Structure 1
Amino acid sequence: MTNLLNKVEELKQEYSKLEKQLADPKIITQLDRYKQISARYKEISEILQYAKELQTNIEALEENKKSLKHEDEDELVFLIEEENTNLESIVENLTHKLKTMLIPKDENDEKKAIMEIRAGTGGEEAALFASDLYRMYTHFIENKGWKIDIINSNPTGMGGLKEISFEVLGKNAYGTLKFESGVHRVQRVPETESSGRIHTSAASVVVLPEAEEIDFDIDENDLKVDVYRSSGPGGQSVNTTDSAVRITHIPTGTVVTCQDEKSQLKNKNKAMKVLRSRLLDLEIQKQQQSIAKQRRLMVGTGDRSAKIRTYNYPQSRITDHRINYTSHNLESFMDGNIDELIDALHIAMQEEMLNND
């Protein structure tokens, strides 16, 4: 409680400073700055209202407890104790609400997202699973009213995907999907398996916040740009011009390719968009891993190699290993109905942040 009240005091000081800034006639001429300050002022104002209500109820509870020590009449004692029970419940709820409001917001949550799905161990079966995951996310994204723009894809000849990267166009796309990053494992009998033996294969998913140019300044001298002819399944050429682009960020060794557009310029622009997002994500991962180390978090660690989920087809079971979530409705889940799990992951992350505060 002391830590909570200290944070409230800090916010009171910030609120006072913002109030003075908003009273300055010059600030109105700086529209973007004015909007930013106004939004923060409104946010803190709401928090302080809850803090004031909490303080009022705490004081009322303390006053009642003092009165109980000097009260002998049974009926009054009963009424005060009954009121105290109600006040304790109010204090508990307001404290939780206030803690939730004080959780630092991820400034990237409202951004669009870039998703990358890659087949892992398991050969063609892993590529088919990567394709199934892409279909699952496509349905989820369409149900949200968002759109998809494919950046790069590498299909196999049997309907699978070695890899695919795509942009998710929608407000809060990154905030919604960010906990999908990690290794997804599948257990099922491949269509080509005549003996009916269950195989295990995997695919990795990476979710990046789409970075704007203002988010990340890239020195052109740090880039190596190669152009080549686009290729389709099996490696056959599908274009007679050098329209495909590969960009290497030399300091980090990050490589991005794009070949889905017919225009070299469009492919380069898309590749740069992905590169900026990956470099921004590297910074985010460092921050997340540092926070996770301090807080011992299971969700949101930024560990891309962690096995996060298993899809067991024979038992129609999905298990998320971070929060011990299990569902036996695999068919619906693979049709894009993943909202329940996504909500559960966000709630788990919020609770971890609160409990470790």
Structure 2
Amino acid sequence: MFLIQRVLLRKKYFTLHKWHQVFYTTSKYDLDLSIRGVSLQNYIKRLEEEYETLLKLNNYTANSRFHQLQPLINTLNERKAAVDNIQNLSELLNEKDDEIRKLAEEEKLFFEGRIKSIDDKLLDAILPSDKEDQCSSIVLEVNAGVGGQEAMLFANELFEMYCNFAEYQGWETQIADYSTIDMGGIRHASAIITGPQAFQFYKHEAGVHRVQRIPTTEKAGRIHTSTVSVVALPQPTDIEVTIDNKDLKIETKRASGAGGQHVNTTESAVRVTHLPTGLSVECQVDRSQVKNRQIALTKLRALIYQRDLEDQIARNENMRKSQVRSNFRNEKIRTYNFPQDRITDHRLQGCNVHNLKGFLQGNDALGNLIKKLDQQYKIETLLNLVNNE
């Protein structure tokens, strides 16, 4: 039982009315959140007003925006309650009774710590998130860029890192395409990854990755620079993208490859073309034509969704969405320097990670870096919203 409740039994002259008077005349604990020197006060006030407006609607509970704002409002109310409790202690802190005064000071420290914790939680509640962040299924593509064989070898290492990361997260991975070379590298590969908020993680990996190292075939010991590109596409549901069968041209052929499971005697490879858009995808990773067709349609649906999304960005000139798109296509987002055992992410100031071998295993090291990128992205998006109100 809190001190105030105990003292109520002994100090009946304290009234709730009196406590509220103290709360409204004290400003020490007023909310004063800011990011990078930019005050969020007006922005928070606007969100509260938006919530109140939605609350007045008869069907507000069915409004997705209402549910999006609710965690923020709940956190604000939680903070106000903590401040209220501190103000309720004001007269008890001046008590002549040493025992009561000491208990009041202890309880004040407790609520001050609670306010600090709530403010940290409040900042997380304010940071915006994109609708696509909730997407639990993505198409991830890795393509070798400049650098010939060395680029293909590193493309294979990156693809394995992302598949390992999915496994580390407990997510499902389904290989959709995998084009190898004799030396063990890949020209390109793609996978369908399914897991809670998978797109929120992998979207920050999209862009050009640069590797600097001495190839095994290099006799002079010179460092070569190669590049690999990564694309992460949110996989929409059937409701978001509807494909009519009459708009599809489906072709089959025998699978080709270096050997093993890629060589078939039946026409299991599938090529699907979406006639209205001209988009085309191929799949030959499975011996079953039906399975290859399903995978190809999944990739095609993601490509159509991405194309429609980018068309919408161009039409609306939406600054926030444009920023998302530019981040996806940002060149040289990360450098992997093997001689120095260093990973540098160029989007984070002064961000260097060591232990390349451990990083490429796709575990906590990669996850922690992605979380930093996601935090920075949300902060920049929030500042963009605040500055353009």
Q: TM-score range by the shorter chain?
A: 0.7 to 0.9
> Could you tell me the TM-score, scaled by structure 1's length?
0.77
Hey, what does 1:156 align to over in structure 2? 181
Structure 1 residue corresponding to 2:238, chosen from 208, 213, 224: 213
Partner residue, 2:367:
339
Structure 1 residue 290, shift from structure 2 partner? 8.3
Larger-gyration structure (1/2): 2
Cα distance change, pair 290–343 in 1 and its aligned pair in 2 (3 A): farther
Contact kept, 8 Å, 1:230 with 1:237, in 2: the verdict is: yes
Taking a change above 3 Å as real, the CA distance of residues 343 and 299 of structure 1, as seen in their structure-2 partners, is: farther
Q: Aligned partners of 1:54, 1:194: CA distance in 2, in Å? A: 65
Q: CA deviation at 1:104?
A: 4.4
Partner amino acid for 1:327?
A: V
TM-score (norm 2): 0.71
Query: Per-residue deviation at 1:123?
Result: 1.2
Amino acid at match of 2:234: P
**Structure 1 residue 155, shift from structure 2 partner:** 0.8
Q: CA deviation at 1:281?
A: 2.0
- CA separation in 1, counterparts of 2:52 and 2:327? 33
Deviations 1:31-69 (A, max 9, x none): xxxxx8398665544332334466789999xxxxxxxxx
- The two structures, once aligned, show a CA RMSD in angstroms of 3.6
Counterparts of 2:197 and 2:318 in 1: how far apart (Å)? 26
Cα distance in 2 between the residues matched to 1:236 and 1:166: 17
Residues 1-357 of structure 1: matches in 2 within 5 Å?
1-17=41-57, 20-21=58-59, 37=62, 43-52=68-77, 94=119, 97=122, 100-101=125-126, 103-233=128-258, 238-286=263-311, 294=319, 301-304=326-329, 306-324=331-349, 325-337=351-363, 338-357=366-385
Deviation (angstroms), 1:105? 3.9
Measure, in 1, the Cα distance between the counterparts of 2:317 and 2:162.
27
Compute the displacement of 1:317 (Å).
1.0
Sequence identity percentage: 38
In structure 2, the CA distance between the partners of 1:303 and 1:147, relative to structure 1 (3 Å rule), is: closer
Q: CA deviation at 1:279?
A: 1.5
Deviations 1:65-107 (A, max 9, x none): xxxxxxxxxxxxxxxxxx9xx99x9699749826843624424
Is the 8 Å Cα contact of residues 161 and 360 (structure 2) preserved in structure 1? yes
- Given that 1:298 and 1:322 are in contact with CA atoms closer than 8 Å, whether structure 2 keeps it comes out as no
Distance in 2 between the 1:292 and 1:134 partners? 33
The runs of 5 or more residues in structure 2 that have no matched partner are 1-40, 86-107
Q: Which amino acid aligns with 2:239?
A: I
1:122-164 alpha-carbon deviations (Å, 9 max, x no partner): 1111111111001211221111112211111111111111111
CA contact (8 A) 1:117 1:164 kept: yes
* Cα offsets for 1:167-189 (capped at 9, x unmatched): 11222212221111111111111
Deviation at 1:206, TM superposition (A): 0.9
Asked whether the 8 Å contact 1:119–1:162 carries over to 2, the reply is yes
Q: 1:289 to 1:191 in 2, by over 3 A?
A: farther
Q: Is the 8 A contact 1:130 1:163 kept in 2?
A: yes
